[in-house]
Structure 1
Amino acid sequence: MAQEYASCDLCDAHKSDFSGDFRVLPPVFRDFGGVKKFAGPVVTVRCFEDNTLVKAAVDSVGYIETAEGRVAKVLVVDGGASLRKALLGGNLGAAAARNGWAGVVIDGCVRDTAELAQQVVGIRALAAIPMPTEKRNQGQADVAVQIQGVWVRPGDWLYADEDGIVVSDKALV
């Protein structure tokens, strides 16, 4: 179920919304996936240098069936902005694509960037680093997270394109 939008147009339409229902993530995210523009309802994970829950998420079905058709979800990962270990690499990027996720936004790092660029999924993160995480089975799923100071909640809608990333408490298109 593809819908057209531009983050600039969404910002134009909501520039006077000070309710907190419409938010813009800071322009610190780099593009690593094979899909440049993606949107969908948000699923969240909070973890720090442990990607156990990221793996569990991307290994699960990345879409929901609705009366209007299939809607791909977006995984938002609060990695504590760590620049020391990668929370997503080639294998997990391939799993996200295979399982139908629209995208993954990580407040942290990725690795295997050449592999990620080949995947049919949107991937945004702060940076790339070759160091993997340790598996400690720590973290939380489906909780409100702060990404670069902006609150993102499960069920919010995220829209990403070449100009940026916006989040809303409801579908906008």
Structure 2
Amino acid sequence: MDFFTADICDEYPDKTKVLGPGYQNFGGINKCQGVVTTIKLDKNNADLVALLRDEDGTGKIVVVDVAQDYFAVVGENLMKFAHKNNFAGIIINGYVRDTEQIQDIPVALIALGTCSRKSIPVTKSQRAISVSFGDVTFNEGDYVYTDNDGVIVTAEKIV
């Protein structure tokens, strides 16, 4: 991938939004790009499991809003599903676990931090809706670029 988020921001300042501070990459790759698909969870990740396990993720980045609830929503098993189905990355407004096991899985995983526990009760989610966190609104079909400098969002692919 021949892009740098800083260069994209410099070249297209009016077309880029930058995810706010506090998010870090726990995945096995430092750079990815793709079309946004959104899901809003109410703690439990059952619908996210189904998305990553059952859908073709080629060229996609899943943006997950779990309202910063202190539960892990992605770990080793979901990262394996994401890799198997060719997802480029996952961005979470929340937490992850199994960080030692996932560091070699070639999928970007951007989150606020880690938490050892997950939420057990199954709850409903919403798909393909706008989600806002980190001073950015992610819309279904937006485009995301990530690297070591950060995460940027554009309305369309520009690089």
TM-score bin (small chain): over 0.9
Alignment of 1:64-143 (within 5 A): 72-82=59-69, 84-143=70-129
Deviation string 1:65-98 (CA, Å, 9 cap, x unpaired) is xxxxxxx21000011022x200101100111011
Question: What CA distance in whole angstroms lies between the structure 2 residues aligned with 1:6 and 1:106?
Answer: 21
3-state SS in 1 of match to 2:29: coil
Shift of the alpha carbon at 1:135? Answer: 4.2
Aligned partner of 1:11 in structure 2 is 9
Question: What CA distance in whole angstroms lies between the structure 2 residues aligned with 1:152 and 1:44?
Answer: 8
Question: What CA distance in whole angstroms lies between the structure 2 residues aligned with 1:140 and 1:163?
Answer: 30
Number of matched pairs? 158
Residues 52 and 135 of structure 1 are in contact (CA less than 8 Å); yes or no, is this contact kept in structure 2? no
3-state SS in 2 of match to 1:33: coil
Residue type of the alignment partner of 1:61: D
Question: What CA distance in whole angstroms lies between the structure 2 residues aligned with 1:53 and 1:162?
Answer: 29
Residues 42 and 123 of structure 2 are in contact (CA less than 8 Å); yes or no, is this contact kept in structure 1? no
Match of 2:26 among 20, 23, 32: 32
1:172–1:29 Cα change, 3 Å: same
Q: Please list every run of 5 or more consecutive structure 2 residues that lacks an aligned counterpart in the other structure.
A: none
Aligned partner of 2:132 in structure 1 is 146
3-state SS in 1 of match to 2:112: strand
Residues 156 and 170 of structure 1 are in contact (CA less than 8 Å); yes or no, is this contact kept in structure 2? yes
Aligned partner of 1:66 in structure 2 is none
What do you get for the CA RMSD once the two structures are aligned? 1.1
Deviation string 1:103-132 (CA, Å, 9 cap, x unpaired) is 000010001111111211111100001001
Percent of matched pairs sharing the same residue: 31
3-state SS in 1 of match to 2:17: strand
Residue type of the alignment partner of 1:158: V
3-state SS in 2 of match to 1:50: coil
3-state SS in 1 of match to 2:118: coil
